[in-house]
Chain A
Amino acid sequence: MTDEPIIKFDKVIKRFGDLTVLNELDFEVKKGEKVSIIGPSGSGKSTVLRILMTLEGINGGVVTVNGEPLWHEKGPDGTLKPASEAHLHKMRAQLGMVFQQFNLFPHMTVLRNITEAPVKVLGLSKQEARQRAEELLELVGLADQAQKYPHQLSGGQQQRVGIARALAMRPNILLFDEPTSALDPELVGEVLNVIGKLAHEHDLTMLLVTHEMRFAREISDRVCFFDQGRIREEGAPEELFTDPSEERTREFLQAVLDS
């Protein structure tokens, strides 16, 4: 882990109609850092990931990824103008995302779900993509499911395919948007195991929006508590979970841990 921020939100504003979801958010993630974002629903946590994945635009401020503005481009005179699709395409290559609802492609086998983008987008040969996919399926423990269709798998298995699919693009930053929220309780563990393994064994930068407090505590270098479109409190997991300094954080943790 170096000290150089790979992700930087500088006074970022995001509105949906009259609703302000991100209110001049300042937020930084260092290279290789594993950061968990927790907070009540509607606090803007998923929006942070969706902005990074370029699924949502911003209404103000600047988002920087690896030193380059994400939603802006530097014009010839040095001023920032809104990003073109080509710029977004280039920037997106650094990021990968794991979705709450998995969002696998239902008409493709597990193998093709993982190889399609490396072949079409990165230009890998079918052979290379297949080899990469098989390694990743091994990693997520699904080596024997390559020829199945997503609907033939359990939710936990589907989400593990989702993780393999994102990793196949070799992103520097992996975004997890509530990866276990749509799963039956008994299937949560297998997905968390895979994410935990990635966190411990890879130098990927990881950003995880989650309601799994114990897991967040286990794998994160830092935990951020979001409230009303801002970071209310952040810190090392031991501190934030055992001795939060803000009353609002305390309330939230109490409510979540009691349930």
Chain B
Amino acid sequence: MHWTEYLPPLMQGAWVTIQLTFYSTLLGGLLAFAAGIGKISSNWAIKGVSVAYIEVFRGTSLLVQLFWLYFALPIAGMAIGLDLRLPPVVAGVLALSLNIGAYGAEVVRGAIQSVHKDQHEAARALNFTPRQTLWTITIPQAIPEMMPSFGNLAVQNLKDTALVSLISLGDLTFRAEQIRNFTQDSTTIYSMLLVTYFGMALVLTAIMRGLEAYVSRWRVARS
């Protein structure tokens, strides 16, 4: 088999990887905001849930989380009479998002807390409620601070998607394994795999930089 013949199945897998990365980064970002804001909430219940979520998912392996959602949850569900079987793609996106969300939550929290106290005082003097202050003053200023870390997390997430091949999801790594099993051409296949992931990471980094520039545009406006 010529190496060009590996391309169509690999591209199919790459498309799955792109989708996984896209959805899990998006959902992970939402979770990061929810838990990051929750962690600095004055409501102890919200704070408790956020802290527990962050610590559990940062403190355990992504692979184990993935296996737990895919293999253990259905059995646990059965024990209480619920059908909790998840399609591989759902289990994959869920595990990846929950994981990146836990790391992202710390980024969100840190960025929000880095906004200067002067800004809170100005908001208070203008009689904004704490909620209005958070959403109109603090978070818009915190988002540009978060972006470099979010960029790293997104790339990390792209690379982590390789793990979902272990629950038989047809991503890039899964396809590569299939071809390798068939052809035993490990060097070519794994080299192509490296190059493809690297290319996707470059594109993703560029996208995140663009996003960063977009949310920070007020910082660089020229006079």
The answer to whether A and B come from one shared complex is yes
Question: Which A residues contact B (CB, under 8 angstroms)?
Answer: 53-55, 89, 92-93, 95-97, 99, 101, 103-108, 116-117, 120-121, 148-149, 151-153, 165-166, 169
Residues of B within 8 A of A152 (CB): 221-223
B127 touches A93 (CB 8 A): yes
Q: Within the complex, which residue of A106, A117, A149 is in contact with B127, where a contact is CB–CB below 8 Å?
A: A117
Given A117-B127, A117-B128, check contact A99 B141 (CB 8 Å).
no
- B223 — nearest CB in chain A belongs to which residue? A152
A97 touches B125 (CB 8 A): yes
**In the complex, which range does the number of interface residues on chain B fall in?**
20 to 34
A149 touches B218 (CB 8 A): yes
Complex-state Cα separation, A224 to B172, whole angstroms: 75
Beta-carbon contacts under 8 Å, B65-89 to A: none
Given A54-B124, A107-B141, A169-B126, check contact A99 B119 (CB 8 Å).
no
Complex-state Cα separation, A89 to B123, whole angstroms: 12
Q: Within the complex, which residue of A107, A117, A148, A149 is in contact with B126, where a contact is CB–CB below 8 Å?
A: A117
A225 shortest CB reach to chain B, Å = 26
Residues of B within 8 A of A105 (CB): 119, 122, 137, 141
A96 shortest CB reach to chain B, Å = 7
B141 touches A92 (CB 8 A): no
A170 shortest CB reach to chain B, Å = 11
A157 shortest CB reach to chain B, Å = 10
Given A93-B127, A116-B136, check contact A99 B122 (CB 8 Å).
yes
What are the nearest 9 A-B pairs in CB distance? A152-B223, A103-B122, A117-B126, A97-B125, A103-B118, A107-B218, A121-B127, A92-B127, A149-B221
Interface of A is mostly: loop
B118 shortest CB reach to chain A, Å = 5
Q: Within the complex, which residue of A95, A107, A121 is in contact with B140, where a contact is CB–CB below 8 Å?
A: A107
Residue B132 lies at the interface, judged by CB distance under 8 Å to chain A = yes
Residues of A within 8 A of B125 (CB): 53, 55, 92, 95-97, 99, 166
15 additional A-B residue pairs with CB within 8 Å, beyond A55-B124, A116-B136, A121-B126: A53-B121, A92-B127, A99-B125, A103-B118, A106-B141, A107-B140, A107-B141, A107-B218, A117-B128, A121-B128, A121-B132, A149-B221, A151-B221, A153-B223, A169-B127
A89 touches B121 (CB 8 A): no
Complex-state Cα separation, A152 to B218, whole angstroms: 10
B61 shortest CB reach to chain A, Å = 38
Residues of B within 8 A of A153 (CB): 223
Complex-state Cα separation, A169 to B136, whole angstroms: 17
Residue B129 lies at the interface, judged by CB distance under 8 Å to chain A = yes
Show 30 A/B contacts (Cβ-Cβ < 8 Å), sorted by A. Answer: A53-B121, A53-B125, A54-B124, A55-B125, A93-B127, A95-B125, A96-B125, A97-B125, A99-B118, A99-B121, A103-B118, A105-B119, A105-B137, A106-B218, A106-B219, A107-B219, A108-B218, A117-B126, A117-B128, A120-B128, A120-B136, A121-B128, A121-B132, A148-B221, A149-B218, A152-B221, A152-B222, A152-B223, A153-B223, A166-B125
